[in-house]
């Protein structure tokens, strides 16, 4: 019993991280039909903003040296500004392009940002211990839970509630939901495209910053590739959950997290390294059974 | 007499788009081989192999309009397959202990080994396409990406036959600039034969309008599966060349970096035409070569100036974005190269240039 609960905690905390990523991809996709690969690089750059640009192996703190409330605000600001900039420079001119073109362009943006980090910081991973006191393992009802797992779950819960409240009760949120439903119709009814899309990118950037901080505390390493790996999982989660459905995106994140955590326990040790291959195969299977995801959005693919 | 002459002229005209690509490539290979340094020959060979890769991608992506992000997986499959057959007979039983007995004992000659490897890549493409081609549009792109990750995870952990994430070394290097040229020509001919065939035209029709194509009886699934299989086999050829050119093999050679590079070559050239695929490779290869040199550093007077590592990738991504924003149809604008005096364009290209995209 305790074992099952332990797996459950792992599943939920991993799923939370994926859910935050898939939600930010889903938000942008719903409105623009853009699968934003660069979301992973928002996370990466968020993490790197804690350090000062330098080639050496010993990390030089930049934002990470500040008192934590200030650090929190600044890291989030950096990532939000970055998200808005990529939207303005790269994606706005392509707004009416086909989904395939948009996909390729976000691939290019992601490649650009990733190599920008390499030029500034080199591709060597850097150790960075941040908030060591949160990482300590605590005992909750006989379960061994790392503090950061609890924090991740808590933060995700708060953010999910906050974002759904935002989408439900504010005017901009309403406009974003309308745009996700039918962008052209929403524009005809007076929704400002630029504002809505910028809003979606700002939220995606905000979530990216949060993920960056949680991930850095959890792993203690800042790595160029970390964001990309995460985004691939988040990205598959969005697809499984149902492109364009935000509830689906969050659900997909938890599902992918659960599948990973469960496979990690049930697979025999010599097959365990192949775990991710099973997760990705499951993605293809789910797509075959439900091509539009678990929660298919009502609006059809635009012809 | 006139009939025979007409026939010849028609054949010549039909083969024109291929000749216009092949002849300059052959000249480049000749010049490099006769006058170039070893470095130049290597660069030209590398570019010719890239042409095989991008033309392989084009056979599926260009004709179907579906972006496949996973096709480099077939390169990996073929590259490992040919390595298992030809590499290092002494070391093989020890470092790749998981190989079947007959592979451990025997070393296959190069040509049959390459044939088998290409066949295996084609088969892998057929089997995965069997499943993936049921998906449409974006879901298909994501499915192929999942495929790439599956192959990567599998090969990098399957230590007993792939040596895991470490490199296999000592693969015989028999690829010369002429062999690479032959392979590039072969892939171009295959691609052109496919796109002007009945099946190729049907697939191009589905690219323009899925609903209308289905209405005249084209099976999107079958046409895409056929193209995916041919594309997989051509990428297999590229994988074999890649392995026997470098002599070193690791699974991460066939991952996101190569996928991005090859897709950007296709997009920059213009993914709607064969000429676009080839021109994209040539253009970006030159750009990359220039920036590689600059990264290594050049002497200006007495001081050595060099760009930081990674600049080349930044420039590549920037070029790609600029092309997407300002010249979305790429350098060749979805057109083949035809002889300027011939007035009629091949049937396969009619329509695209003339009408505005309907979206």
Q: pLDDT (tens digit, 9 = 90+) per residue, B196-207? A: 999 999 999 999
What is residue B350's predicted lDDT score, i.e. its pLDDT?
A: 43
Break chain A into its structural domains and give their ranges.
19-225
Query: 3-state DSSP call for residue A61?
Result: strand
Q: Which of A180-189, B179-188, B338-347 has the lowest mean pLDDT?
A: B338-347
What is residue B359's predicted lDDT score, i.e. its pLDDT?
A: 36
Find chain B residues with C-beta within 8 A of A90's C-beta.
321, 325
What is residue A303's predicted lDDT score, i.e. its pLDDT?
A: 39
Using an 8 Å Cβ cutoff, are B144 and B69 in contact?
yes
Å between A131 CA and nearest CA of chain B: 32
What is residue B155's predicted lDDT score, i.e. its pLDDT?
A: 93
| Helix residue ranges, H only, chain B | 2-35, 38-64, 72-86, 92-95, 101-105, 110-132, 137-157, 159-162, 177-196, 198-208, 210-215, 220-246, 256-269, 274-296, 311-326
User: Going by C-beta distance under 8 Å and a sequence separation of 6 or more, which residues neighbour residue B339?
Assistant: B13, B16, B20
Looking at the predicted complex, does its ipTM rise above 0.85?
A: yes
Q: Does A166 touch chain B (CB under 8 A)?
A: no
Find chain B residues with C-beta within 8 A of A94's C-beta.
324-325
What is residue B46's predicted lDDT score, i.e. its pLDDT?
A: 95
B295 within a domain of the structure (yes/no)? no
Mean pLDDT of A222-233: 84
Does the structure show a pLDDT above 50 at B355?
A: no
Note down the domain range covering B224: 16-255
Q: pLDDT (tens digit, 9 = 90+) per residue, A133-175? A: 677 777 777 777 778 888 899 999 999 999 999 999 999 999 9
Locate A254 and state its tokens: 């938890």
Does the structure show a pLDDT above 80 at B285?
A: yes
What is residue B135's predicted lDDT score, i.e. its pLDDT?
A: 86
Residue A119 and residue B146: Cβ atoms within 8 Å? no
Q: What does the alpha-carbon distance between residue A90 and residue B311 come to, in Å, rounded to a whole number? A: 19
Q: What does the alpha-carbon distance between residue A103 and residue A80 come to, in Å, rounded to a whole number? A: 21
Using an 8 Å Cβ cutoff, are A102 and A86 in contact?
no
Find chain B residues with C-beta within 8 A of A236's C-beta.
142, 146
Q: Which of A55-59, A266-270, A281-285, B238-242 has the lowest mean pLDDT?
A: A55-59
What is residue A132's predicted lDDT score, i.e. its pLDDT?
A: 67
Q: Which of A161, A259, A206 is nearest to A46 (CA)?
A: A206
Does the structure show a pLDDT above 60 at A119?
A: yes
Mean pLDDT of A257-273: 87
A&B contacts, CB < 8 Å: 118
For B65, left (φ over 0), alpha (ψ -120 to 50), or beta?
A: left
Does the structure show a pLDDT above 80 at B122?
A: yes
Mean confidence (pLDDT) of chain B: 88
Q: Find the angle CA(B194)-CA(B198)-CA(B202) to the nearest 5 degrees.
A: 95
B69 within a domain of the structure (yes/no)? yes
Mean pLDDT of B70-87: 94
Find chain A residues with C-beta within 8 A of B317's C-beta.
108-109, 111-112, 115
Mean confidence (pLDDT) of chain A: 86
B304 within a domain of the structure (yes/no)? no
B309 within a domain of the structure (yes/no)? no
Say what percent of chain A tops pLDDT 70: 94
Helix axes B220-246, B38-64, angle to 10 degrees: 170
Does the structure show a pLDDT above 80 at A56?
A: no
What is residue B286's predicted lDDT score, i.e. its pLDDT?
A: 94
Stated pTM of the model: 0.90
B272 within a domain of the structure (yes/no)? no
Residue A100 and residue B137: Cβ atoms within 8 Å? yes
Higher pLDDT, A219 or A204: A204
Residue A100 and residue B256: Cβ atoms within 8 Å? no
B347 within a domain of the structure (yes/no)? no
B308 within a domain of the structure (yes/no)? no
Q: What is the DSSP letter of B308?
A: P
| Interface subset of A 96-125, CB within 8 angstroms of B | 96-101, 103-105, 107-109, 111-112, 115-116, 118-119, 122
Does the structure show a pLDDT above 80 at A63?
A: no
B107 within a domain of the structure (yes/no)? yes
| Number of domains observed in the structure of chain B | 1
Mean pLDDT of B169-193: 95
Q: pLDDT (tens digit, 9 = 90+) per residue, B289-326? A: 999 888 888 777 777 778 877 788 899 999 999 998 99
What is residue A149's predicted lDDT score, i.e. its pLDDT?
A: 86
* Backbone φ and ψ of B304, nearest 5°: -95, 115
Locate A111 and state its tokens: 């490649």
Mean pLDDT of B157-173: 86
Does the structure show a pLDDT above 60 at B249?
A: yes
10 Å Cβ neighbour count for B181? 22
Does the structure show a pLDDT above 80 at A257?
A: yes
């Amino acid at each position: 019993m305790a074992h099952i609960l332990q797996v459950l905690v792992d599943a939920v905390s991993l799923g939370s991280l994926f859910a935050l990523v898939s939600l930010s991809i889903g938000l942008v996709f719903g409105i623009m039909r853009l699968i934003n690969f660069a979301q992973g690089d928002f996370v990466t750059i968020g993490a790197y903003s804690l350090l000062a640009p330098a080639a050496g192996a010993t990390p030089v703190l930049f934002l990470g040296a500040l008192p934590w409330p200030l650090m929190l605000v600044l890291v989030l600001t950096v990532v939000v500004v970055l998200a808005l900039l990529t939207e303005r420079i790269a994606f706005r001119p392509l707004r009416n392009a086909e989904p395939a073109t948009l996909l390729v362009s976000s691939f290019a943006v992601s490649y650009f940002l990733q190599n920008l980090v390499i030029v500034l910081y080199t591709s060597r991973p850097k150790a960075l211990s941040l908030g060591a006191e949160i990482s300590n393992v605590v005992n909750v009802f006989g379960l061994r839970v790392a503090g950061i797992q609890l924090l991740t779950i808590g933060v995700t819960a708060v953010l999910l509630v906050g974002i759904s409240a935002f989408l439900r009760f504010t005017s901009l949120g309403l406009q974003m939901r309308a745009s996700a439903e039918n962008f052209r119709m929403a524009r005809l009814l007076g929704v400002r495209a630029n504002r809505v899309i910028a809003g979606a990118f700002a939220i995606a950037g905000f979530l990216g910053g949060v993920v960056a901080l949680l991930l850095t505390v959890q792993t203690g390493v800042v790595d160029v590739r970390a964001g990309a790996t995460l985004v691939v999982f988040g990205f598959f989660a969005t697809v499984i959950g149902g492109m364009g459905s935000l509830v689906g995106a969050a659900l997909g994140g938890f599902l992918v997290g659960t599948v990973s955590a469960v496979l990690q326990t049930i697979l025999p040790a010599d097959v365990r390294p192949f775990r991710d291959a099973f997760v990705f195969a499951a993605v293809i299977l789910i797509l075959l059974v439900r091509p539009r995801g678990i929660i298919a959005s009502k609006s059809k693919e635009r012809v | 007499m006139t009939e025979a002459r007409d026939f010849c002229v028609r054949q010549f005209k039909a083969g024109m788009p291929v000749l216009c690509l092949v002849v300059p490539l052959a000249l480049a290979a000749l010049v490099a081989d006769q006058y170039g340094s070893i470095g130049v020959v290597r660069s030209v060979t590398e570019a010719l192999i890239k042409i095989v890769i991008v033309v392989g991608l084009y056979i599926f992506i260009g004709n179907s309009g579906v972006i496949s992000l996973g096709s480099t997986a077939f390169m990996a499959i073929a590259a490992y397959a040919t390595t298992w057959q030809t590499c290092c007979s002494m070391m093989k039983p020890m470092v790749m202990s998981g190989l079947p007995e007959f592979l451990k004992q025997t070393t296959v000659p190069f040509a049959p080994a390459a044939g088998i490897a290409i066949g295996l890549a084609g088969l892998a493409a057929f089997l995965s396409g069997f499943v993936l081609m049921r998906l449409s549009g974006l879901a298909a792109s994501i499915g192929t990406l999942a495929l790439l990750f599956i192959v990567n995870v599998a090969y990098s952990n399957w230590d007993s036959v792939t040596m895991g994430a470490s490199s296999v070394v000592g693969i015989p290097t028999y690829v010369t600039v002429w062999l690479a040229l032959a392979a590039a020509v072969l892939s171009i001919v295959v691609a052109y034969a496919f796109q002007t065939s009945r099946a190729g035209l049907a697939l191009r029709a589905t690219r323009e309008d899925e609903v209308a194509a289905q209405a005249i009886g084209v099976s999107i699934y079958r046409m895409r599966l056929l193209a995916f299989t041919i594309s997989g086999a051509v990428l297999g050829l590229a994988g074999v060349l890649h392995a026997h050119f470098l002599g070193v093999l690791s699974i991460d050679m066939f991952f996101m970096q190569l996928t991005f590079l090859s897709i950007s070559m296709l997009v920059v050239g213009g993914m709607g035409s064969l000429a676009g695929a080839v021109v994209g490779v040539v253009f970006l290869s030159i750009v990359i070569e220039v920036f590689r040199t600059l990264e290594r550093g050049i002497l200006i007077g007495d001081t050595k100036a060099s760009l930081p590592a990674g600049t080349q990738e930044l420039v590549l991504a920037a070029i790609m974005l600029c092309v997407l924003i300002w010249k979305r149809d790429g350098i060749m604008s979805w057109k083949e190269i035809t002889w300027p005096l011939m007035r009629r364009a091949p049937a396969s290209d009619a329509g695209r240039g003339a009408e505005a995209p309907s979206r």
